[in-house]
Amino acid sequence: MNILGINAVFHESSAAIVVDGKVVAACEEERFTRIKHGKEARVDNPQALPENAIRFCLDYAGLKADDVDFVAYSFEPKLRRTKFHADWWPDSRLEADFLRSLDAVDDAVSKVMGRRIGKALKFTPHHLAHAASAFYPSGFDQAAILVVDGIGEADCSMLARGDGLRIKTLETFTYPHSLGFVWEHVSVYLGFSAYDASKVMGLAAYGDPEVFRQQFAKIIRIGEDGYAVDPDAIGFQSLEPRGLDALFGPRREPDGEILPHHMHVAAALQAANDAAVIALLRRLEHTVGGERLCLAGGVALNCVTNALISRMSAFSDLFIPPAPHDAGTAIGAALVVHCAQPGASRPSGGATPYLGPEFDEREILAAVKAAGLKPHKCKNAAREAADMIADGNIVGWFQGRMEFGPRALGNRSLLADPRRPDTRAILNRRVKHREDFRPFAPSVLAEHAEEWFDIGPPSASHEYMLFACAAKPGRADRIPAVIHEDGSARVQIVRRASNPRYHALISHFYERTGVPLVLNTSFNDSEPIVCTPAHAIATFRGAGLDALFMGDIRLTSET
């Protein structure tokens, strides 16, 4: 049975294909269109579909439109109508247009597929899709599930239980009680975009959460039963977060100077988020119990909160998928539909991030020729790249299938020497063209990870760069380029079985330097992560990289 999953109603538009219960391919639309988050206009055009991602998934699986048995869409319009009150929304007219246009989703899907879909189109509740994207790939037979994001149809957080093929919703927190929306509004207040929660998370390490703790207590109220958000305090009724001006003073303008004041706001938000999520977990522990926990939703990208969960919760085994944000609901929706079929088997394959396009040497050489560059064929690309990194070069590493999710995990990565104190500034200013406070992550060999970082309870999700881990005593000074202001690092553990070529590169670097890790950041420059060889070459040139390795083909700045 072939099931196409689609996420398109909000952001991170994406598609996935599940064949007989196995996740075969998944990709975000932004990687093809080069428009961040897949699309910008949602309320006025929510039926716009990730057409490029859909075509890739079908092509990779060797399927035609007629071969698709079901199309799973990670939003349920009827649930929106029954649970969400339009007068809560800043513009009820736009909300009405939103609901009317969702009725045209089946027409849009049919148009893209080239055939009538009809009853084969299955609308899946958004938070159920989030939950499925985590529980089914986790490998757990039973688990507690927590979903925390901006909003689905009306829910903003969900407590659930997974058992075999079944996911049961236990409790929901509906709008306006949205931690995700608080992050969006504070991001805008601090002069970033609504999508820049990761910037705010990085900035928080520089601030003191006590400075504005009382102000945030007015926005997010924490209790034994969970949390509640005061929409008036933050200003949810307006598209502009003016309520925050009253609490914290005038907002920062985009590109304005970042002051200690802004750092303290970010720190207080991080502390409030930690407390709210831990309160939800306490409630989930009392309701479900057990040893295993699955986490999903956009807030599950917060590596600081995730580390706190791993240390403080009663759950000893935690799984977070590589794409816990909205993109992952394309996988989740398809898995929900699969598990609903009579005689369905347990799904497989959704835990790996390497689900996107890949390119053979012929395609790589064609892109190099089109760019007018001279390629060099490597005898051992991993060793050559490791030597260049150890010599202080910044290297583009383009290998195998592209990652699904927001993290570059060794197939579409920029790599550098973590030992050099100036590496971080060079990358932020010369290559990535972003704020100086932004940190970079270490990719560390699994065999040596616990020697260098306080990893905490083991989890497969440590391979997805989803936890902030403190450096072990005496280690931070040796790798200053990947240590954040608070002494932590967003660690990616690299296992030979999961990514043998990347593991080989880091192993060669370790042999050369005695340090079993490299600095890893996404292969992009103020754009979505590169997808094709042509994208990689363009960024290689534009960002002034020292070298680019695509498969066994090497380009250098001299070619």
- Is residue 185 among the annotated active site residues? no
Residue 451 contacts residue 472 (beta carbons within 8 Å): yes
Residue 540 contacts residue 548 (beta carbons within 8 Å): yes
Dihedral pair phi/psi, residue 402, rounded to 5°: -65, 145
Q: Which residues contact 196 (CB under 8 A, 6 or more apart)?
A: 187
Burial class of residue 45 (count of CB atoms within 10 Å of its CB; 0-12, 13-18, 19+): middle
Burial class of residue 422 (count of CB atoms within 10 Å of its CB; 0-12, 13-18, 19+): exposed
User: Cα 103 vs. chain centroid, distance in angstroms?
Assistant: 29
- What own/partner pairs with CB < 8 Å and gap ≥ 24 does 243-248 have? 244/185, 244/186, 244/189, 245/189, 247/212, 247/215, 247/218, 247/219, 248/189, 248/212, 248/215
Integer Rg of the chain from CA = 23
The one-letter amino acid at 416: A
Q: What is the DSSP letter of 447?
A: G
- Cα dihedral 84, 88, 92, 94 in deg (nearest 10): -70
Strands, DSSP E only, in 321-379?
376-377
Neighbours of 225 (CB within 10 A): 12
171 bridge partner residues: 159
Q: Which of 516, 215, 245 is nearest to 390 (CA)?
A: 516
List the catalytic residue out of 11, 37, 177, 185: 11
Cα gap 102→78, rounded to integer Å:
10
Cα gap 523→550, rounded to integer Å:
12
Residue 187 contacts residue 197 (beta carbons within 8 Å): yes
Q: Which residues contact 388 (CB under 8 A, 6 or more apart)?
A: 395, 546, 547
Cα gap 76→80, rounded to integer Å:
7
Please tell me the total number of residues recorded for the chain in this structure. 559
Cis omega (within 30 of 0) for bond into 357: no
Q: Which residues are catalytic?
A: 11
